[in-house]
Every structure is written in structure tokens, then in C-alpha cells.
Structure 1
Amino acid sequence: MDAIEALLGALIDISVPAFAIASMLSMGLRTPLRAFRDQLRDRRTVLAVLGANFVVVPAVGTLLIWLLAGLLPHHTGEGFVIALCAAGAPFVLQLGAMARIPYGETAGPMAVLLLGSIAFMPLVVPFLLRDVEVHGWSVAQLLLGTMLSPMIAGIVIAAVWPGRADLFARIAGGVAAVSAVLMFLSGFGANSGLVLDLLLSPVLLVAAGLVALAFAAGRFAGDLAGDTLTVPDGPAILTSQRNIAAALLVARTGAEGSAQTGSIVVAILLLSAVGFVMLVPYALATGYVRRRRAGERATLAVLLGIVGPKDD
């Protein structure tokens, strides 16, 4: 049993940075510089999305976690706080495709949020955590090396070899998908006893409430956004899906080798899993309705965002 737990622990040490690097590389390969430029020109949208992700969600969410601290065992509250501070998840691109949101309306804001997370987390996370110590500079170095650098590399590669960018993006996306599966399996498997304890506690209800809070904040930001956003629930999906890669990297920086590591990692994975379960059905349902209204054939591949829509 100890050997299995050691193997799972080693696997999560590999899968977390692999997921972060591969997903950021894939995002960079698919996100041209004009997506940044076009988004930054719409200051109203930028401010609305940044406010929802880096003011409302971390502030209100952290306050709720502190108020419910007695219901959150095993340092799961710290894991939730870290996740609430991490925005700009690459999976938002897939959710946006499912919900029939124009690519630029998810890619542009997501890229801006990723840059915001790299600046925001080193400054704010150490201040918000009560029982876990993380060092801002260490967090900044880690995020720069495993998230910003691969994204920039992807943008450069796409600019130099535009004809091969899609192939490279698919390869990187495949690596990210495999790494994500291994990350969840190893994270939950190495802490199976803790997971069972949490499933019997109110933790899942708290996680669902935090996802709902983020969705409401993002939806309100969509109403305040500028003309570049034509689908008002795009920021809601963008805000609800937190950046699990950044959160796990930051968490393991502060709690590496301590008894708190497993609890914090499981909390982040649980929050991400709950968000996935809540957001995917919503994205599929709204995408189906929008495609039918537009007269498009809503096949399963189209609904899942695997292929583009086909007109009737």
C-alpha cells in the first residue's frame, strides 16, 4: 500500500506541471496575438471580467469560506481559496465551443485572465491563506515558468509555422488531456480515505455554492461588458471554471512535503470536478438551443465542440 501511495504521489508530481505546460502551449498555439489586441481595446469588457474574477469571486468566496470554516475539514478551505484566486482556465475554450460562443469571446478574455492570475496570485494568495504559508516570489517564478512561458512559446510557434500550428496544438492538447486524467486519478487515489471523508461532509455543497457564486459574478460582468462580447453568459462560464493548473502549482509550492498537501490538492480537484459537472450540461444545453435557433444541425460532434457546425 505504501508503494502504491508513493507511486501515485510521484505521478501527481509529474502530471500537474505536465498538464500546466501542455495546456498553456496548446492555448498559445490556438490564440493569435490579435486576440489579445482586440480584447485589450475593449476596456469595459476587460474591467468587467477582471473585476468578477479578481475582486468579487476571491473576496466574497473567501469570506464565505471563513464563515463556513467549521464545516470544511482537513484544510479544504485553503484549497478552495487558492482555486478562487486562479482564473483563465484553458478548458474554457472547449466549454465555449460547446455553448456556441465565438472563439474570440473566450480566447481573448481567458488570455487576459491568465496574465492577471500570474500577477494576482503571488500578491494575494499569501495574504488570504491562514494555515498555509506560500511565498509570493516562488509562486511568481513557478507561474512564469510553467504557464506564461509555454503560452508565449505557442504564440511564437504559431506565428513562425502557421501551417503546423493546429497539428502542434492537437498534440499538446492530447498531452494535456492525458495529464489531466492522470492528475485526477493520482490526486484522488493517493488520498482515497480523505476523499471518502469529504464526500460524507458538506464540502461538495460548499463547492457547488462557490461555482454558482462565480457563475453569477461572471453573468453580471457579461451584462456590464462592452461591444466585443455578443454572448452575455460567456464571462459566466469563463469565471466559473477556475484555473486548476495554476491553483495546484501554487498549492504544492506552499504545502510541499507537509500533511496539508493532500487536503489542499483534493479540495482543488473537487472544486474543479464540481465545476465540470455543473458547467458541461449547461454549455451543452445552451449550445443546442443556440444552434437550433441558428438553423444549424446539432450533431453530437458539433455539440461537443469537436467539429464546426454544419448548416441544414
Structure 2
Amino acid sequence: MRAIEDILVGLIHVSVPVFAIASMLSMGLRTPLRSFGAQLRDRRTVLAVLGANFVVVPAVGTLVLWLLSGILPAQTGEGFVIALCAAGAPFVLQLGAMARIPYGETAGPMTVLLLGSIVFMPIVVPFLLQDVEVDGWAVARLLLGTMLSPMIAGIVLAAVFPRRADRMARVAGAAAAVSAVLMFLSGFGANSGVVIELMLSPALLVAAGLVAMAFVAGRAAGDLAGPTLTVPDGPAILSSQRNIAAALLVARGDGIDPSVVVAILVLSAVGFVLLVPYALVTGTVRRRRDGERITVGVLLGIVGPRSD
């Protein structure tokens, strides 16, 4: 039994950086600079999305967790706080494709949020979790090396090898998907006792409430956004799907309880369960409204144009 636990723990340490690198490489390969240039120049949209993700979501979420501290384990609250501080999830691109949101309207803001997370997390996480030792500079180096660098490498490769970019993105995306499955299985398997404890506690309800709060904050940002944003629920999806890769990279630091990792995985799993049906339903409605032919591949965002 001990040997199995050691294998699962080792798998976590491998799958987390592989997931981060592969997902960001895939995102870069699928994101030509022209697809989000206009979005980055739209200051109203950028400020609205930044405000929702780095002011409203962390502040309100931390306040809620502080009020509920008596009914949640301390490590669970710490994991949720770290996840709430992590924005710019690559999976948002897939959710956006499912929901029939123009590619540039998710790629541009997601890139801004990723860059914001690299600056925001090393400063704010140690402030909010003062009893947890977090080396800010080490976190920044980790995020730069495993998230920003692969994204830039993907953009460069797409520019140099445009005909091979889609194939390379599919390979990187497949690697990210496999590592994500291994990450969840190993994370939950290595901490099965903690998982069972959380299942029997209000943690799932709290996680669902935090995802809903982030969705509302993002929806408000969509209403306040500039003219380049044509689908107002894009920022809602962007805000409610937290950057699990960045959060787990931070939670893997020395001296951090493994239960914190489980809490991050739980919040991510709850967000996935809530957001995928929403994206599929809204995507179906929009495609039918536009008279598009709907297939399983199109509905899942797998088949179709890379940009709209």
C-alpha cells in the first residue's frame, strides 16, 4: 500500500508540470497573434476582466471562506484561496468553443489573465495565507517557466511552421488531456482519506458557491466590457474556470499540506461539472439560432474553424 501511495505522489509531481506545459504549448500553437490583438487593445474589456478575476473573485471568495472557516478544514480553505487567485485557465478556450464564443474573445483575455496571475499570485497568496510559507519569487519563476514560456514557444512555432501548427497543437492537447486525467486520479488516489472527508463535508457546496460567485462576477465584467466583446458570458466562463495548473504549481511548494492540493482539485472538478453542461447548452442554442449543422465534434469544439 505504501508503495502505491509513493507512486501516486510521484505521479502528481510529474503530471502537474506536464499538464501546465502541454496545455500552454497547445494554446500558443492555436493562438495567432492577430486573433487577440484587437482584444488586448480594448482597455475597457481588459480592465473589466482583470477587475473581476483579481479583485472581486479573490476578495469576495476569501471573505466567504473566512466566514465559513468554522465548518471547513483549514487546508481546504487554503486550497480554495490559492485557486481563486489563479486565473487564465487554458481549458477556457475549449469551453468557449463549446459555447460558440469567438476564439479571440477567450484567447485575448485568457492571455492577459495568465500574465496577471504570474504577477498577482506571488504577491497576494503569501499575504492571504500568512501561515503558509510561499516563496513569491520561486512561484513567479515556476509560472514563467511552465506556463508563459511554453505559450510563447507555441506562438513562435505556429508562426514558423504554420502548416504543422494544428497537428502539433493536437499532440500537445492530447498530452495535456492524458496528464490531466493522471493528475486527478493520482491526486485523489494519494489522498483518498481526505477526499472522502471532503465528500462528507459542506466543501462541495462551498466550491459550487465559489464557482457561481466567480461566474456572476465575470458576467458583470462582460456587461462592462468594450465593443470588441460580442458575447457577454465569455468573461463569466473565463472567471469561473480557475487556472488549476497555476494553482497546483503553487500548492506543490515545500511545507504545504497535501490536503491543499486535494482542495484545488475538488474546486476544479466542481467547476468542470458545472461549466461543461452550461457551455454545451448555450453552444447548442447559438448554433441552432445561426442555422449551423450540429454534430458531436462541432458541439464539443473539436471540429470547426480555429477562429470565428
Which category of TM-score, normalised to the shorter sequence, fits these structures? Answer: over 0.9
1:263 corresponds, among 252, 259, 263, to 259
- The answer as to whether partners of 1:36 and 1:112 remain within 8 angstroms in 2 is no
**2:185: which partner in 1?**
185
Q: How does 1:292-303 map to 2 (within 5 A)?
A: 292-303=288-299
Quick check: 1:74–1:263 contact (8 Å CA) kept in 2? no
Q: CA deviation at 1:68?
A: 0.7
Structure 1 residues 26-84: Cα deviation after superposition (integer angstroms, max 9, x where no partner): 11111122234222210000000000000000011011111111111151100000000
Sequence identity (%) = 81
In the alignment, is the contact (CA less than 8 A) between 1:58 and 1:84 conserved in 2?
Answer: yes
Query: Gapped runs of 5+ residues in structure 1?
Result: none
The within-5 A match list for 1:130-209 is 130-209=130-209
1:305 aligned residue: 301
Residue aligning to 2:286: 290
Structure 2: which amino acid aligns with 1:63? Answer: L
Of residues 292-301 and 95-104 in structure 1, the stretch that sits farther from structure 2 once superposed is 292-301
Matches within 5 A, 1:1-312: 1-253=1-253, 256=254, 258=255, 260-308=256-304
Q: Which digits, 9 at most, give the CA deviation of each residue in 1:208-230, with x for residues without a partner? A: 00000000000000000111110
The answer as to whether partners of 1:27 and 1:169 remain within 8 angstroms in 2 is yes
How far apart in 1 are the matches of 2:225 and 2:61?
A: 22
What SS is found at the alignment partner of 1:37?
Answer: helix
CA contact (8 A) 2:242 2:268 kept: yes
Q: How big is each residue's C-alpha offset from its partner over 1:270-295, in whole Å with a ceiling of 9 and x where there is no partner?
A: 00000000000000000111111111
* Structure 1: distance between partners of 2:167 and 2:192: 37
Paired residue total: 305
Provide the secondary structure at the position in 1 that maps to 2:90: coil
Q: Is the 8 A contact 2:35 2:103 kept in 1?
A: no
> Which TM-score applies when normalising by structure 1?
0.96
What's the secondary structure of 2:164's corresponding residue? Answer: helix
Give distance in 2, aligned partners of 1:216 and 1:263: 28
Structure 2 Cα separation of the partners of residues 107 and 40 of structure 1: 10
Displacement, 1:171?
0.5
Question: Does the CA contact (< 8 Å) of 1:16 and 1:248 recur in 2?
Answer: yes
With normalisation by structure 2, the TM-score equals: 0.97
Per-residue deviation at 1:132? Answer: 1.3
Whole-Å Cα distance in 2 between the matches of residues 183 and 74 of structure 1? 23
Q: Could you list the structure 1 runs, at least 4 aligned residues long, displaced by more than 2 angstroms after superposition.
A: 34-37
Retained in 1: the 8 A contact 2:36–2:105?
no
Return the offset for 1:131: 2.8
- Matches of 1:3 and 1:125 in 2, distance apart? 33
- CA drift of 1:261 comes to 2.7
Counterparts of 2:33 and 2:300, CA distance in 1: 26
CA shift, 1:303, in A, is: 1.0
Would you say the 8 A contact 2:218–2:238 is kept in 1? yes
Structure 2 segments unaligned to the other structure (5+ residues): none
Q: Classify the secondary structure of the residue corresponding to 1:87.
A: coil
C-alpha contact 1:78 1:131 (8 A) present in aligned 2: no
